[in-house]
Amino acid sequence: MDRILLRFSEENVAEPITSQVILELGIPMRIVTATINSLGGDILVEVPAVHLKKIVKAFRDKGVIVKFPKLIEVDYDKCFDCGACPCGLCVDACPARAITLVEQHRNHPK
Amino acid sequence: MSTTKKGNGRSIAEINQKIKSGDVQVLTAEEMKKLVESSGVEVAYKEVDVVTTGTFGAMCSSGAIINVGHSDPPIKIQRAWINDVEVSHPGAAVDLYIGATMMSETEPFEYGGGHIIEDLIAGKEVELRATSYGTDCYPRTKLNTTLTKDDLNQFYLLNFRNCYQRYVCATNSRDEIIYTYMGKLLPRFRNASYSGAGELNPLMNDPDYETIGLGTRIFLGGAQGYVIGEGTQHDPTDRFGTLMVRGDCKQMSPEFISGGAFTKYGTSLYVGIGIPIPILNKGLAKKTALRDEEIFTDIVDYGVPRRARPKLGKVDYATLKSGKVTIKGREIKVSSLSSLKKARKISETLKSWIENGAFYLSAPAETLPTNSACNPMKQTGEIVFVNSVAHEAVTCSVDEDIKSVAQRIISRSVNHVVVTDKEGEIKGIVTSWDVTRAVAEGKSKLADIITKKVFTTTPEETLEAASRKMAQHHISALPVVDRDKKVVGLITSEDIAKLRGR
């Protein structure tokens, strides 16, 4: 399974794009996190690696920005449990500099 | 304060006696609140001797004084750096003050004075570099050496403003991300941040400073330290009290003292402070029962770079701790810059120290001022604001054709035309360059050449901030808009240049 981040804008968030892609391709996706409202937002989904290219193209064709998130690693020795890192703000919001991003081990379509 | 009151109230001497005999009853501030809620103030007052508090957050006005010993031949240090961070030399020869916010010259914004203090406390070796002009008694002019905390004669935390009683909740009205000491604030009120432990905060549990003052023994950075007076900018009448504290860094732990880095803002020091509140009277039992729901603070727009930032409303700490706050009718995420988990740990650690007879309470020699004020700066220079420089904006509407806009550029001899809707609200900007390019590329629709994402300024912004905005984004003009995004003028880099040439 691969993780991709779907970024919706204020313009396209009202449309049922995720459902459309699932119905059109018949490929199941697992939603990991979703931070989204009427102004847009992000959905992080896990998709089968063999169908990755197809799924990315389908979302991009519908105007969704698709990103390949790096994996987040937290150094718990450095972390002092403040709350400064809600989703999307993470790395540069961490005053303890305890968060780093690592590449997923895979060649993603650009 | 009397320490030998009998019958009416409890004295600190009595409490210390109980600590010695192992009979002392200590609750954390959170436990005290639950007890008062379930059993009432009367019972809580009878049963509880001490309530422990805690806070752990970024406290920029912190630093450490170190004495590095004399070199041979001796040096009267003039300028000094530790791990490439300039430290100040305020005294005779070899005393250095490591300011928490001083930044590394090779790794600015990432490593600073706060990190040096943490590294030294953790037992790490640091590099000292110093220069001097040389005197007859201190001939040496250059110095390079390494140091650990064991090589220091004194290593004391001397923090001049710590432990704010409460702090504001910060958000951002601007169209761009801003990086502040309240963290990263997203555009158009998309997030908010706050700091402080609320009902666990030391000063909030003794809001009239009956027991806190010069000489109060406290938990500081994992060791025992002292309050040495009120902190700078202490503002008791607004419930923004602060503390000046001192503690022996050699006894401290990096668990409770950490360097911090705020992106594009700078470095700081996270400090852990816990204060024991002796329950000397029923009033203190009641005061230490104060809940998050009762502690209010202002939601402040950090997007306005002025001393008096606009207040957008009030919020209580229970709401802040829930992670969601409502700003301008919309629920947004609010995150804490301080650590509640560490604050709790501090209140629990202090509680166990007292229960185990490892920590005795001290009566302050002098309590904190309760009626002083924090005044703004007296300024002799005149500050220029956008409204005194801005002029009328030449405007057009989206449905006009490029030719008519080009004619207006010529007839009004301007380079910028602001696009507005019928209500005068900003919709974009068109420059003479855009029009020229449209002609070159054969475009005729105005809508195709409008820049829709426009950086703007407000009448109340300083000219300095507006001109920084233009430089940052490589643009030559800013439409001036009011709070409803309606265009009220325009200011160009030419206007600023003219003013400078005055």
The string of DSSP codes covering B119-186 is HHHTT--EEEEEE----SSS-B-EEEEEE-GGG-SEEEEEEEEE--S---EEE--SSS-EEETTEEE-
Contact A92 B337 (CB under 8 A): no
Dump pLDDT digits (tens) for B70-129.
999 999 999 999 999 999 999 999 999 999 999 999 999 999 999 999 999 999 999 999
Contact B339 A82 (CB under 8 A): yes
Q: What is the pLDDT of residue A87?
A: 59
Find the closest chain A residue to B197 by CA distance: A82
Which residue ranges of chain B lie beneath pLDDT 70? 1-8, 501-502
Dump pLDDT digits (tens) for B223-236.
999 999 999 999 99
**Residue-number span of the structural domain to which B471 is assigned:** 386-500
Q: Nearest CB to A80: which of B183, B268, B342?
A: B342
Q: What is the pLDDT of residue B188?
A: 93
In a domain, B1, yes or no: no
Are the CB atoms for B247 and B220 separated by under 8 Å?
yes
Dump pLDDT digits (tens) for B44-63.
999 999 999 999 999 999 99
State the CATH number of the domain containing residue B454. Answer: 3.10.580.10
Q: What is the pLDDT of residue A49?
A: 86
**Pick from B102, B136, B152: which residue ends a domain?**
B152
- Note the Cα B448 to chain centre separation in Å: 44
> DSSP labels for A10-26?
TTTTTS-HHHHHHHHH-
How many structural domains is chain B composed of?
A: 3
Q: What is the pLDDT of residue B501?
A: 65
Q: For tokens 């450490």, what's the residue?
A: B64
In a domain, B472, yes or no: yes
Task: For residue B255, count other CB atoms closer than 10 A to its CB.
Answer: 17
In a domain, B2, yes or no: no
Contacting residues of B for A82, CB less than 8 Å apart: 57, 336-339
pLDDT along chain A (110 residues), means of 10: 90 93 93 90 91 93 89 85 74 88 61
The burial of B183, by beta-carbon neighbours within 10 Å (0-12 exposed, 13-18 middle, 19 or more buried), is given as buried
Contact A97 B341 (CB under 8 A): no
Q: For tokens 């449990």, what's the residue?
A: A81
- State the pairing for strand pair B296-301/B169-171: parallel
**Does A11 lie at the interface with B, CB-CB under 8 angstroms?**
no
**Pick from B367, B402, B432: which residue ends a domain?**
B367
In a domain, B331, yes or no: yes
Looking at the structure, tell me whether residues B134 and B263 fall in a common domain.
no
**Pick from B109, B126, B152: which residue ends a domain?**
B152
Contacting residues of A for B58, CB less than 8 Å apart: 95
Q: How far is B381 from chain A (nearest CA, A)?
A: 36
Q: Does the domain formed by A2-67 have CATH 3.30.70.260? A: yes
Looking at the structure, tell me whether residues B104 and B208 fall in a common domain.
no
Looking at the structure, tell me whether residues B316 and B225 fall in a common domain.
yes
Instruction: Look up the ipTM and state it.
Output: 0.74
| Closest to B163 in 3D by CA, of B259, B211, B233, B223 | B233
Q: What is the dihedral of CA B304, B307, B308, B312, to 10 degrees?
A: 40
- Probe site for chain A from B169, B263, B271, B330 (most A CB atoms < 10 A): B263
In a domain, B355, yes or no: yes
Mark which residues 306-345 of B lie under 8 Å from A by CB. 323, 333, 335-342
Looking at the structure, tell me whether residues B246 and B215 fall in a common domain.
yes
Looking at the structure, tell me whether residues B78 and B99 fall in a common domain.
yes
In a domain, B470, yes or no: yes
In a domain, B98, yes or no: yes
**Does B52 lie at the interface with A, CB-CB under 8 angstroms?**
no
Cβ burial B362-383 (10 Å sphere, 16+ → b, else e): bbbeebbeeeeeeeeeeeeeee
Rounded distance, CA B287 to CA A83, Å?
A: 28
Looking at the structure, tell me whether residues B277 and B405 fall in a common domain.
no
Contacting residues of A for B338, CB less than 8 Å apart: 82
Q: Nearest CB to A95: which of B58, B340, B341?
A: B58
CB proximity list for B117: less than 8 A, separation 6 or greater: B62, B63, B64, B98, B100, B157, B249, B257, B259, B269
Q: Which residues does residue B57 pair with via DSSP β-bridges, in sequence order?
A: B271
Q: Is B374 a catalytic residue?
A: no
In a domain, B276, yes or no: yes
Contact B193 A80 (CB under 8 A): no
Looking at the structure, tell me whether residues B173 and B195 fall in a common domain.
yes
Are the CB atoms for B469 and B457 separated by under 8 Å?
yes
Per-domain boundaries in chain A: 2-67, 71-102
Find the closest chain A residue to B257 by CA distance: A80
Q: Which two tokens stand for residue B129?
A: 């570099």
**Does B56 lie at the interface with A, CB-CB under 8 angstroms?**
yes
Cβ burial B406-428 (10 Å sphere, 16+ → b, else e): bebbeeeebbbbbbbeeebebbb
> DSSP labels for chain A?
-EEEEEEE-TTTTTS-HHHHHHHHH----EEEEEEEETTEEEEEEEE-GGGHHHHHHHHHHTT-EEE-PPEEEE-TTT----S---TTTHHHH-TT--EEEE--SS----
